Amino acid sequence: MLKTLKDLFDSFTAPAGQQSPQQHGHALQLATAVLLVEVMRADADIKAEEQKTVFATLRDKFALADDELARLMELAAETAQTAYDYHRFTSSLNDQFTHPQKIHIIENMWEVAYADAHLGAHENHLISKVAGLLYVTHGEYIAAKMRAKEAAASA
């Protein structure tokens, strides 16, 4: 369980060789959360539907308690505002996630983008860029997009 935001942030900024397994897990959680928050921030205004989708995705993916989820979201939003590129987030995911898990992250990003029933050009560009950084092929990217679109239509 996370004690403070500082613990979570320290887990992300510690060099990979010096991270405990728990810190490493927290770094992966933060990297995933930042990418989802970035999709939310791609629109001019953040919609409640997008925020609910990010919360639900992180809760399902990492089985976090409400207080941990709130702290993770707070740090992800703060980190996203100061991030200058996505490489530091995608590199940790590339090192630790399987290819199907990375495709699932892209699908989760699409779910956030479709949550407000409006797909913006910035959202599309962001997800495309992250997919490339995660080595997700164009076909896998499109398939993830279609699955998310179908899920949004049936919701």
Cα 137 from Cα 141, distance rounded (Å) = 6
| Class level of CATH domain 5-154 | mainly alpha
Note down pLDDT in tens along the chain; length 155 residues.
344 444 544 544 444 455 566 666 788 899 999 999 999 988 877 788 999 999 999 999 889 888 999 999 999 999 988 888 898 889 989 998 999 999 999 999 999 999 988 888 999 999 999 999 999 999 999 999 999 999 988 87
| pTM (predicted TM-score) | 0.83
**What single string gives the DSSP state of each residue in 94-132?**
HHHS-HHHHHHHHHHHHHHHHTTT---HHHHHHHHHHHH
Residue 116 DSSP one-character state: T
Question: Where exactly are the structural domains of the chain?
Answer: 5-154
